[in-house]
Amino acid sequence: MAYGSLDFVVFSIVGNRQKRINLLLRDDYRLVSRLAGEPVVYILSAYTEKLSGRFARLKSGLYEHLSLSGRIELSDIREYLTDEQYRRLRNIFPDGRIVFWGTSRRIGSRIKEGDIVAIYTDYCVYLGVVAYVINNERLALGVWGQISRNKTWNHVFFLTNVVKLDHEDFNRIIGRDPSWMPRRWYFACLRGMERDKVLNYMQECME
C-alpha cells in the first residue's frame, strides 16, 4: 500500500458522512498514518531564542540547546515533574541522561509517542523517536524561560534513539537541496518518499 498517495483511501460509506471523511483524510496526512499504524514524521525549527531559564547558556553568541544535547539529567528537572512523570522518565532513561524539546504552538500537542521528530537548530539536526509527551509549563519555564508574558514552550516531548546530523546530511537523506533550512517557527509533517526515507534511516540506526 503506497502511503505516499492518498488516492488509495476508499470507503463504502455514502452521503455526507463519506464526503466529510474524504475531506478529512485528504487534508490531514497525520490521520492516514495513524490509521495505518505508522509513526508521523515531523520537522521543526529550533533556532536561537532569547532564553532565560536556568539551563540557558551562550556559546559563540548563540544559545545552546542543552536539553537536546543530552547534558541535562533527570535529577536536574525533578522539582518540575509530578511523581508519575518522574517515574515514567526514570523507566525510559535509566541512566538519567535525558533528551527533550518543547513547542509553544498548539499544533505541538499533535505529537504522539512513537512519532519521529527532526529538529533543525543553529548547529545541526537532532533526529529521534518520541518516547514520552507532557504538557508542563513549570518545566518549560524552568528550563527555557518564557517567550513573552505567560507564554512558554510547554508542550514537551522526550526523545530516544537520538541521532545528531549536519544540516546537509539530513537534507540528503530526505532528498532535499543540501542548503535547505526551515524558516523560523517551522512545524510540518513529512509525506510520501521523504517520510519513508526517514523511517528507513531510523530503522537502520536502531538495528
Helices (H), 28-166: 29-35, 83-92, 137-144
Q: Tell me the pLDDT band of 4, cut-offs 50, 70 and 90.
A: very low
In this structure, are 100 and 167 located in the same domain? yes
Q: How far apart are CA 65 and CA 91, in angstroms?
A: 24
Report the distance separating Cα 157 and Cα 126, nearest Å: 13
Residues 15 and 81 in one domain: no
At 199, list the grid cell: 523511517
Share of the chain above pLDDT 70, in %: 71
pLDDT of residue 74 exceeding 80: yes
Highest mean pLDDT among 29-43, 59-73, 113-127, 145-159: 113-127
Instruction: Tell me: do 6 and 60 sit in the same domain.
Output: no
Do residues 66 and 57 make contact, with C-beta atoms less than 8 angstroms apart?
Answer: yes
Highest mean pLDDT among 50-64, 72-86, 148-162: 72-86
Whether 105 and 170 map to the same domain: the answer is yes
**Cα–Cα dist 19/9, whole Å:** 12
Please tell me whether residues 163 and 68 are part of one structural domain: yes
136 class by beta-carbon count within 10 Å (0-12 exposed, 13-18 middle, 19+ buried)? buried
Verify that 110 and 169 share a domain, yes or no. yes
pLDDT of residue 22: 44
Q: The domain that contains 73 carries what CATH number?
A: 3.10.590
Instruction: Report the C-alpha gap between 35 and 162 in whole angstroms.
Output: 26
Q: What is the pLDDT of residues 98-112, one digit of tens each?
A: 999 988 877 778 899
The answer to whether residues 192 and 105 belong to one domain is yes
Host domain of residue 18: 1-38
Strands (DSSP E) along 33-166, which ranges? 41-45, 58-59, 62-63, 72-73, 97-98, 100-103, 116-120, 125-135, 155-165
Q: Are residues 55 and 150 in the same domain?
A: yes
- Does residue 27 sit in the same domain as residue 45? no
